Amino acid sequence: MAATASSLATVVVWGGFVLAFAFGVVAARTNFCTMGALSDIVNMGHWGRMRMWLLAMAVAIVGAGALALGGQFDLSKSIVQRPVLSWLSLLAGGLSFGVGMTMAGGCANKNLVRVGGGSVRSIVVLVFVAIASYMTLKGLFGQWRASWLDPVAINLGDWGWKDQSLTTALARATGLDAKTAAIGTMTVIAAGLLAFVFKDKRFRGNGVQIFGGVALGALVVAGWYVSGHLGYGENPDTLEDSFFATNSRTIESFSFVGPLAYSLELLLLWTDKSLHVTFGIASVVGVALGSAAYALWSRSFRWEGFASLSDLRNQLVGALLMGFGGVTALGCTIGQGVTGISTLALGSFIALAGIVIGSVAMLKYTLWREEQAA
């Protein structure tokens, strides 16, 4: 039994690393950046990178939904699908993350990609994201979150919901069976996203961005499969079926804020034998190394620091807001914006809306401030 548990954990960790390595390569090659996508729209009215992000969502929704319907894993067990809808935490966390990633010039994923490209600045940002996220998980910020934000919630379980998915909402509202509701919800949302994405002739001609959206969405689906299928088995201690090598102890795919905190904890408490490398930690390392491999191959590796003291200040404040927001919202632009959305969780849509609103508001404020200074 012990050997089986160890082998399952090994599969999850190495599977997460390999997939994240590929994620880092693709993100670096396609210049995938969620904050950049919003900035392109606000500053230039250009939707190319946003369409790539939306394409990744559509692919993840279809892929995850199809495998879940096929019995390969159970998305209702994921942390974002809990029937308690902590809407205030999700919204406040999303707003905080959106403002923070704009101040820091990119989300957690983008900063991991930049680290691979030689950005010392992003190393500093990620350290502060990790500190703030750890404080939100287990420290002072966590006390604030648990006392003031998390209690403001709707327990959908009291209404007989087994999870918080749009699929369950449709089934409860119409009386459809779960499978039909799942297919209908997945089809309508994915079709809507794909129609919007490919209605633009310029995007249809951009093979790099199409590849990026499809590949990144597929990698999120593969992450679900690794942790939820390959890493699911009997726990020798409890003799119950369990998920191995995930920090949440349930099914996971890519998300980068919480895993940064667990990575920092592992480094600081390395001799604590109760701590182990997990899917999330392996993912953090994998993205950075994948980006580094691409940067070295393409000869684009460049050392980069802070431009000024004010740049340092903004980046650190942004990092703290990202760390707090990413944990409070249960994910980042990838963790909720693609991974969470692929489960069709109501909370993921709330968190994503908060991230977008926070980022756009900060972008517009920055533009206004620059205009006033001029």
Q: Extract long-range pairs of 263-269: CB within 8 Å, 24+ residues apart.
A: 263/130, 264/127, 264/130, 264/131, 264/134, 265/134
State the Cα–Cα distance between residues 33 and 333, nearest whole angstrom.
9
DSSP 54-91: HHHHHHHHHHHHHHHHTTS--GGGSGGG-SEE-HHHHH
User: Rounded to whole angstroms, how far apart are CA atoms 359 and 100?
Assistant: 8
Q: Is the pLDDT of residue 6 over 90?
A: no
pLDDT on residue 235: 81
The mean of the pLDDT values for the chain is: 96
Q: CA-CA distance, 13 to 248, in Å (whole number)?
A: 14
- pLDDT at position 35 is 96
Predicted pLDDT at 1: 42
pLDDT digits (tens, 9 = 90+) for 111-138: 999 999 999 999 999 999 999 999 999 9
178-198: average pLDDT:
97
- Please identify which residue in the block is written with the tokens 């299928």: 229
Domain ranges in the chain? 2-373
Residues 53 and 37: beta-carbon distance below 8 Å: yes
Name the percent of the chain lying above pLDDT 90: 95
DSSP 248: T
Global confidence as pTM: 0.97
pLDDT of 2 reads: 47
Q: What is the mean pLDDT of residues 102-106?
A: 96
